[in-house]
Structure 1
Amino acid sequence: MPDIDRERAWLLTVDGAPQSYVDLDQPEHLEFEYTRRLGHVLDVVAEPGRALDVLHLGGGAFTLPRYVAATRPGSRQDVVEFDRGLLELVAEHLPLPAGARIAPHPADARDWLAKARADSADVLVADVFGGSRVPAHLTSVAYAEQAARVLRGDGVYLANLADAAPFDFLRSQLATLATRFAELVLIAEPGVLRGRRFGNAVLAAAHRPLDVTALARRTAADAFPARVEHGPGLRRFMGTARPVRDADAVPSPEPPEGAFGIGIG
């Protein structure tokens, strides 16, 4: 069950696992490593301050929607969260900023995508975990097709995933997204990419080149430095991985005990 620990600066936990960190007075503050990396991408997808239409799959405590509302005022955001109880808890204890154009929707992420209007989002952020694993139905080519349909031509897809060496899941997700997007970027902590530990990785996909230079500069200077992989290096990392079809889709791997000190989704 979800719970909020007020003694630890608004830390949301689900079944005892830390999920989201929210500072109601400073929504620009992103505590967890993976949210900071998602935030870095959101900062460079368009000129600073430009309002965006953003679709979030997975709500948590609405950390990223609050961040977008603070850094890009006027943005229109939809947040799809399967756990209705979590939505109610957040609404009661962590109210959204007045005037923020953030609409919560209790629904399954893929069902929502299938019904969403085409070319309706500038950014799609996928941060969906069933417990500690990405659900299988959000890992396939058919899912990627729906995501690409909902995004505008210059839109950007972002996903928070988790894996460890030999990175079978992460490589398969890159191959899957490559069936629908021309540009791919991977952001992760160097120790994770070297296979030293299980951890989060942020994937960005688009039909247009992303500002990799600006992104690499931001991630390298972060309090939790990360590496940005793209182009030939990322294709080498992907190797011979094959796209995932619905019939073959499986959830992301179960993290080892103690893998996440803070935050998985």
Structure 2
Amino acid sequence: MNRSRVRVEPSPVFAGALELIVDDRPQSVVDPSRPVRLHYDYAHRVGAVLAVARPPGEPMRVLHVGGGAMTLARHVAATRPGSRQVVIEADPEVVRAVDERMPLDAATARSVRVRVGDAAEVLPTLAGPYDVAIVDAYVGLEAPGFADSADWYRRVRGLVPGGIVIANVVDEGDLRRVRAVAAVLAEVFGDLLALGPSDLLAGERGGNVVLVGGGGARMAGRLDALRQAGPHPAFVFGPDEVRDRLGAGPLG
């Protein structure tokens, strides 16, 4: 019997949670009863950045490039009531599965507007402004072409004047992918922050690194809070360390 390429099943790891699976690869985890809960390490790191981006509980305008199960959109709605969010999801099967098997609660649904389509085409139709843009769009482990485009990130920057852009980068453990995306982001945003697991930095395994552009000295001043937030063991690099360790910094 053929199985659907997009399905929702009980998580075998996290009690009470549901797992979105795309092409037999776990993609997102949601606990419908506790939307504030984040399961994957990289999502915890994104959540830590969101927590210090604005005062606690203050509503934010958030653009999500890549929706999946809308784990982070649910988290924002739960931790910052009154937030306004736009989610761009390229895969209509994913949107349908989420609507049917792990629907948003009423409060979150009021917070979120979903746009189905290619982000490169949807982005120019958005007006903004947003406080935060989260770029987390993958097909399996493959990033879309715009993830390497400085021109595309300049469009994103135009939608977040004075705000921040958070990019989730999947790396095989050699830091090649992280360095490539960091170089693009540095060209557009200048100074960056980087957060990830220590064993990835040591080359012991692949994993996810969270890069943060924009926010300037304000975000650089949040490094201690981000280091305390974990998950541990972890590295949290400020702009100088990103330049020294990842070779990415402002041009000129």
Could you state the TM-score of these two structures normalised by the residue count of structure 1? Answer: 0.85
**Pairing 1:185–2:193 present:** yes
Does 1:140 find its partner at 2:140? no
What's the CA shift string for 1:151-204, capped at 9, x where partnerless? Answer: 122x11001111135422211211111122133111110000111111111111
SS at match of 2:32: coil
- Report the counterpart of residue 172 of structure 2 in structure 1: 164
Per-residue CA deviation, residues 122-162 of structure 1 (Å, 9 max, x unaligned), is 00001100222111222111111111111122x11001111
Residues of 1 paired with 2:180 and 2:141: CA distance?
19
Deviations 1:87-133 (A, max 9, x none): 0110111111212211111011121222221x511000011002221
Give 1:86's match in structure 2, choosing from 59, 82, 94: 94
* Alpha carbons 2:64, 2:135 under 8 Å: kept: yes
The answer to whether the 8 Å contact 1:172/1:241 transfers is: no
- Any runs of at least 4 consecutive aligned residues in structure 1 with deviations exceeding 4 A, and if so which? 240-243
8 A contact 2:190–2:249 mirrored in 1: no
Q: How far apart, in 2, do the equivalents of 1:200 and 1:12 lie?
A: 18
Q: Paired residue for 1:110?
A: 120
Match of 2:10 in 1: 6
Whether the aligned pair in 1 keeps the contact of 2:11 and 2:29 (CA below 8 Å) is: no
| Runs (5+) with no aligned partner, structure 1 | 244-265
Alpha-carbon distance in structure 2 between the residues aligned to 1:208 and 1:241:
13
Give the 3 Å change call, closer, same or farther, for CA 87–191 of structure 1 in structure 2.
same
Query: Structure 1 stretch 199-208 or stretch 71-80: which is displaced more?
Result: 199-208
Q: Which structure: greater helix fraction?
A: 2
- Structure 2 stretches lacking a partner, 5+ long: none
The alignment yields a C-alpha RMSD, in angstroms, of 1.8
RCO higher in 1 or 2 (8 Å CA, sep ≥ 6)?
A: 1
TM-score (norm 2): 0.89
Q: Percent identity?
A: 34
Q: Deviations over 1:47-104 (max 9, x none)?
A: 0000000000111111000000000000001100000111011011111121221111
